[in-house]
Amino acid sequence: MSRPATTQIRFPARLWDTVLDKETEFDGTLPDYCPDVIRLIRVDCTPYTDTCQIIDGKLQINGRVIYDILYEADHKNKLRFCSFTQEFRHTADLPKNDLESPEAYCNASCSKITCRMLSPRRLLLRARLELHTTVSGMTAVSLLSTQPVEDVFFVKKPLRYDVPGETVKKEFRFDEALPLLQGEDSIGEMVFGTVSVQPPQATVTRGSVLAKTNAVVKVLYQPEDTSLGGNYRMVVKNLPLTLSVETPEAEEGKLCSLKLEMGAHSVLPELDQYGESRMLKACFTVNAAVRTMGVAETEVAEDLFTPGLITTAARKEISLPRLASVVDRSFTVDLKLPAEDPVFTALYDTSVRAGRTKASPGEGGVELTGNLTVSALGEGMDGVLHRDHTSEFEQFIPAEIPEGLSEIGVEITPFEVLPTLHSDGSISARVICNATLSFYTKEQVSFLCDPVTQTEPEEEDPYSVAYFYPAKTDTLWSVAKKYRVDPAKLKADNPTSFDESGRLAAGIRTVTVLKR
């Protein structure tokens, strides 16, 4: 008896997608070169994920947290800045895992930070981290092979599914000289300098992914000529960057994910060609990670029969996830920060971060919810002040929702904030955000799988010619299977009865079945 073989296909599956909370605590002492702390002004926390691995069925995340401290020193009430680095590890139990070659990815952010002075030189820092974690891999499914077998006829259909490529990483180093503009005061003493990278715009071409973005350099300093008024100046420089990552799997029209992360960076003042302190030297690295998403296609058996035998096969139904589309949209949120005592008299710097964002499908687009925390640094009547304010937001993003939507992944990155300081001390802030929306669909696919059983049919009347009166729903396959004859021969014997796809032609009332 003829019996088809079995084979396997491997397609991507996601095991876990969650946000893990991690509490960190750091007891630190100021370096010897830093003066004592008189008053804390601002504490920032920036977490980085170094490794995210699956070891013995557990997820293990290793990373580091950089704490940036801006404070008032005992020496003439001047501002000082210092940083601490703390390593952290987080372990979590994974759900039952039957994936092949599972991979884990983690993106860390800070949702809350507190700082307490234990002495003028000792600080206790606590941070709550959000570890946005995804675990995915490949899963194997057995199915009947559709390779030709004597006296076995198949109905075949194509099966298309996503195949993620390998992640390609590349580090870019930059060494840039940034002159001050004519209206910007010369640098007397620099308090701190930071470099951040904005969300990129990616263009996929054959063999490479091109990313365009901006590096934002911020420097707080005392002017060289203090008689100009005001104790400090904040200067912001936008540096356009073009990054090219070569990957052989990249092709025009393919979906890809592109992540940029700021690495080590430093900003120092330098003298210009005239010997004046009007230059900034920014040295930094940007780490890029690119992963393309391809589509594979195979054939599966939807039905089969064997002439002279009754053949049955088990049927399996699977749900195939697919990344249908990735959409980048910009939107603005207007926030109002209430006046608090003491009030700002001037603003130096305003930054913003997003947290706990969610996306849900709506009519003609996506409903976004979350919170935005605005961090304002400025001058008050009694010195430099800092204030955080968190506001909830709702935003509708017009977008085409694909059919069969199962999930929406969202990543919101605020990249610009436009503040206005009012006379009553309140602050209006227009926040410009970039939203990256990933639309996932699921397709239910049914096909034949092992085992196959074959039995002798009950005795039936012998015939050489049969005349079948088909219903409108009959097809070439249904008639061939009913009489267990070769579909190709049935089509040849009835050349005008069926179209190219095997559907019954209009007006056909009789099909001739010749048994040979």
B/e letters for 30-66, b = 16+ CB within 10 Å, e = fewer, are beeeebebbeebbbbbbbbbeebebeeeebebebebe
Question: Which SS3 state, helix, strand or coil, does residue 150 take?
Answer: coil
Predicted pLDDT of residue 178: 95
DSSP string, 89-108: EEEEEPPP---EEEEEEEEE
Predicted pLDDT of residue 308: 78
Predicted pLDDT of residue 76: 64
Closest CA to 257 of 330, 215, 200: 200
Q: For the segment 322-364, what is each residue's pLDDT rounded down to a tens digit?
A: 888 889 999 999 999 888 878 888 899 999 988 888 999 999 9
Domain assignments of the chain as residue spans, ordered by start: 1-145, 165-295, 324-442, 459-514
CATH of 459-514 given 2.120.10, 3.30.360, 3.10.350, 2.60.40: 3.10.350
Q: Which residue has the higher pLDDT, 455 or 80?
A: 80
Closest CA to 8 of 318, 311, 324: 318
Q: For the segment 305-329, what is each residue's pLDDT rounded down to a tens digit?
A: 888 788 888 999 988 888 888 899 9
Q: For the segment 380-393, what is each residue's pLDDT rounded down to a tens digit?
A: 888 889 998 999 99
Q: Are 295 and 324 in contact (CB under 8 A)?
A: no
* pLDDT of 371 above 60: yes
Predicted pLDDT of residue 20: 92
Question: How large is the average pLDDT for residues 74-103?
Answer: 86
Instruction: Give the strand order in the sheet containing 100-119.
Output: 6-29, 122-144, 100-119
Alpha-carbon gap, residue 119 to 14, rounded angstroms: 48
Predicted pLDDT of residue 493: 92
Alpha-carbon gap, residue 203 to 320, rounded angstroms: 27
Cis amide bond preceding 462, omega within 30 = no
